[in-house]
Amino acid sequence: MKLALEEKAGPLPTRPDDTVLSDAIPLFFIGRNQNGFWVAREAAGRCGGLFISRRSAVRFARKNRLVGAGATMIVENPIELELPNQGSRLAALIAVLTEAVNRRAPRVANLIGFAIAQLRSLDSQISHTLAGYRRNRAAIENDLFQGEYELVSKNDDDLPISPRV
C-alpha cells in the first residue's frame, strides 16, 4: 500500500563502504516518516514496512535479515516507505486514514495525532513501570535469597522458591 506523501521523502543515507560494512550484509534503515510512523526499509529496497512503534520496526529488520548477519541504521531525517508495506497492516491503515483526514479536516487530523502521541506516551510509561517492577523484584530476590533461589510464582503471597540453576 503506497501513500501519497512518499514523493516528499528525502534521500536515504548512503550505505557505508566495504571497509565499514560488507555488501553481503543486509542493511536496514529505521526512522520516522512525515506522519510520525516508524519505517523499516532494507537499503536495497527488497523489503520494508510501516510500524507504530520503533520496537516493531527493529523486530521486522531482525526477522528479515540473514541469520546472524545484518546491520541497522537509525535515520534522523524523515524517510518514507517507497515499496509495498510488509509491516503492520494497522499502521498502514491508520496512515491512510490520517492522510485522508489531513486532506479533508486538518483539525480532526490534529486530534488524531494528539491521540496517537498520548497512546505512545502511555505505552512508554507502562514499559518503564514494568521494567522498574522487574528490577525491584530481582533486587528483592537477591536480598532475600542471596542469589541462591528465585521466586517461581507470579503471586508473591505463595512465595514458592526454587534453586537457581
Q: How far apart are CA 145 and CA 152, in angstroms?
A: 13
Given 3-state DSSP classes, what are the helix, strand and coil percentages for the chain, each rounded to the nearest 5? Answer: 45, 15, 40
pLDDT of amino acid 96: 87
pLDDT of amino acid 24: 75
**Of 146, 156, 154, nearest in space to 164 by CA:** 146
Other C-beta atoms within 10 Å of 34: how many? 15
Summarize pLDDT for 62-105 with one digit per residue, the tens: 888 766 678 888 888 888 888 899 998 988 888 888 788 778 77
Q: How far apart are CA 28 and CA 15, in angstroms?
A: 10
**Of 89, 82, 110, nearest in space to 98 by CA:** 110
Q: How far apart are CA 50 and CA 60, in angstroms?
A: 10
The reply to whether the predicted model has a pTM over 0.85 is no
CA distances for 19 relative to 15, 16, 27, 43, angstroms? 11, 8, 14, 17
Domains of the chain, by residue range, sit at: 4-104, 120-163
Summarize pLDDT for 96-155 with one digit per residue, the tens: 887 887 787 777 778 888 888 899 899 889 988 888 887 887 787 778 777 777 766 655
Q: How far apart are CA 49 and CA 43, in angstroms?
A: 12
